Amino acid sequence: MYLLWLRVAAILYAAACVAVFPAVLYSSERWRKSCVHLGGLAFFFDFVSVVEMLVQAHRFVPVGVREIESLLGFAVAGLFFLVWWLYDAISLGLFALPATFFLVFIPALGTDRYTFPSQGVRTSWLVAHIIALLLAYAALCFSLLASVLYLVQEHRLKSKPKRGKSPLDWLPPLDTLERISHATLEFGFPCMTVGLVIGSVLTQETALGAAYFADPKVIASFAMWAVYVALLLIRRGAGLRGRKAAYVSGAALAVIMVVIAANFISTVHRFGPQ
């Protein structure tokens, strides 16, 4: 029965994750209240699940990776709500709530290794996983390209080019490049999130199972996701525009290279026959 409560908690944590981003990035009071209410309900069902799990097992110490992940997710959520209650720091939910969701989501799949109903279903999930991540990487690269073109256009305008045609006349205005950079960044974030969620499910059929965080490729992918959150938070929260925003976006390129390199050093993250 505890799995049912854990699955309900995972769904509510996911909803709270959706609500926390407009609450923080756009200072929306409506989404803020929704985030707190959904997260609070999720925490309650998570608590019920943890208590029932330990009572049913006739012990008070977690055993196995799934139980440890479940308790760790509960602890992260509890710490976040304590900090929110004391300091009203809802912005920490950008990291705490998604982390809690991923920690709870895997144990909610079941006590044993998750298996897909058929090979066709598994292949469909794999295709969706690959497409989502490729769209996320492409969006971030496009955002970086727009930022670089912003710097080029800014330098060109400040240098006061002579009259006549210039090979860079095709460049859009600075405001357009700035909006393209931010819009593609916001488009890529949900793609990255969906890709990681699907990947977490796919990994349960590998030898890693619930211990999928041990794979360097998975770690690098979550680092990429954290960079996405940081970029959105910094650009929106600090009001960065223009040159500074371009420099911040450029820092994400190094993380992309790390993720690509992780594909070559990973020995356990495989979606082929095990």
Q: Residue 166 pLDDT more than 80?
A: no
Rounded average pLDDT over 71-91: 90
Q: Residue 126 pLDDT more than 60?
A: yes
Nearest to 122 by CA among 192, 54, 204: 204
Mean pLDDT of the chain: 79
Amino acid 62: pLDDT: 67
pLDDT digits (tens, 9 = 90+) for 246-269: 666 666 666 666 666 666 655 555
Amino acid 273: pLDDT: 43
Amino acid letter at 64? G
Do 223 and 191 lie in one domain? The reply is yes
Phi-psi region for residue 113, left (φ > 0), alpha (ψ -120 to 50) or beta? beta
Amino acid 189: pLDDT: 83
Domain that holds residue 242: 119-265
Do 135 and 192 lie in one domain? The reply is yes
Q: Residue 43 pLDDT more than 90?
A: yes
Do 40 and 82 lie in one domain? The reply is yes
* Boundary of a domain, candidates 84, 108, 132: 108
Q: Residue 270 pLDDT more than 60?
A: no
Do 87 and 172 lie in one domain? The reply is no
Q: Residue 164 pLDDT more than 90?
A: no
* Boundary of a domain, candidates 108, 127, 150: 108
